[in-house]
Amino acid sequence: MDLHLDHVTLVYPDGAGTLTAVDDVSRTVPAGTTTALLGPSGAGKSSLLAVAAGLTPPTSGTVRVGDAVVNAPGTRARGAARARLAHVGLVFQQPQLLGSLTALEQLELTAVLRGERASSARGRARELLAAVGLEREERRLPAQLSGGQRQRVAIARALMGAPDVLLVDEPTSALDTARGAAVVRLVTGLARERGIATLLVSHDEDTLGDVDARVHLVDGRLAGSPAAPQLVP
Ligand code: ADP
């Protein structure tokens, strides 16, 4: 299913006035594709991701997954957002793994928190760890994994609920360019294979490789540009 941002605006109270962090952003991320969201610090990238994730209601505008409204102003869509949140996978800047759990257990825990039995989730957890190239590391604790491997665990964990939408916040900020590019390649490939609409925040264009689209946010406003610039013969 596609992710649709329709005229999304987010205004924060700011002292006596207001600050418009996201300003009338409209964009569709088609299923199976990855859109990179670029922009300087303070441009509104995290704010937009929080609205797309349903963590913050927009001041105006809507977020839809397919035909379902998953976020809208006020409480109108709260029930819908809760139902749909299960179908949105999130990857944060830091992998946020639990120190005492193995890679496999990190994934099983998310299924258990959704009410599934760990034993029934194990097969899916193994399949996802293999999909991110960590089949041999499933018994390792976070401290026994590299930074890139920890980020791969976080990506696999985000896919445990078979999400339609994946939102990724600067997954490469703690990695060098080569490792960062490998993580972006992994996310792009998984999105394509699994038909997931993926929005990926980045400040590092060098890691973006073959993402399907790049859009730039400046002062909360979107200035779109195609992923591959057209060569003029
Ligand atoms: P980015 O992720 O691109 O660095 P942010 O979304 O974090 O940008 O911030 C966009 C703007 O909104 C900035 O001016 C920031 O100071 C402001 N801002 C972010 N969060 C809040 C908040 N909770 N309350 C008030 N202003 C905020």
How do the pLDDT tens digits run along the chain, 233 residues long?
999 999 999 999 988 899 999 999 999 999 999 999 999 989 999 999 999 988 889 999 999 999 888 899 976 556 665 656 668 899 988 888 999 999 999 999 988 888 888 788 999 999 999 999 999 999 999 999 998 899 999 999 999 989 999 999 987 777 788 888 888 999 999 999 999 999 999 888 888 988 999 999 999 999 854 444 445 55
Give how far the C-alpha of residue 100 lies from the chain's centroid of Cα atoms, to the nearest Å.
25
Contact 19 CB / ligand 1 (< 6 Å):
yes
Contact 58 CB / ligand 1 (< 6 Å):
no
Asked if residue 198 lies in contact with residue 35, where contact means CB atoms within 8 angstroms, the answer is yes
- CA-nearest residue, atom 21 of ligand 1: 12
Contact 42 CB / ligand 1 (< 6 Å):
yes
Contact 44 CB / ligand 1 (< 6 Å):
yes
What pTM, to 2 d.p., does this model score? 0.89
Contact 46 CB / ligand 1 (< 6 Å):
yes
Asked if residue 107 lies in contact with residue 125, where contact means CB atoms within 8 angstroms, the answer is yes
pLDDT given at position 226 = 46
Atom of ligand 1 nearest to the CA of 14: 25
CA distance 132 to 223: 32
Contact 41 CB / ligand 1 (< 6 Å):
yes
DSSP for the chain, written as a single string: --EEEEEEEEEEEETTEEEEEEEEEEEEE-TT-EEEEE--TTSSHHHHHHHHTTSS--SEEEEEETTEEEE-STTTTHHHHHHHHTTEEEE-SS----TTS-HHHHHHHHHHHTT--HHHHHHHHHHHHHHTT-GGGTT--GGGS-HHHHHHHHHHHHTTT--SEEEEE-TTTTS-HHHHHHHHHHHHHHHHHHT-EEEEE-S-GGG-TT-SEEEEEETTEEEEEESSPPPP-
Contact 39 CB / ligand 1 (< 6 Å):
yes
pLDDT given at position 180 = 84
Mutate to test the pocket of ligand 1, among 18, 19, 168 (most ligand atoms within 8 A of CB): 19
Side-chain-facing half-sphere of 22: CA atoms under 13 Å:
26
pLDDT given at position 77 = 57
Atom of ligand 1 nearest to the CA of 46: 2
pLDDT given at position 92 = 85
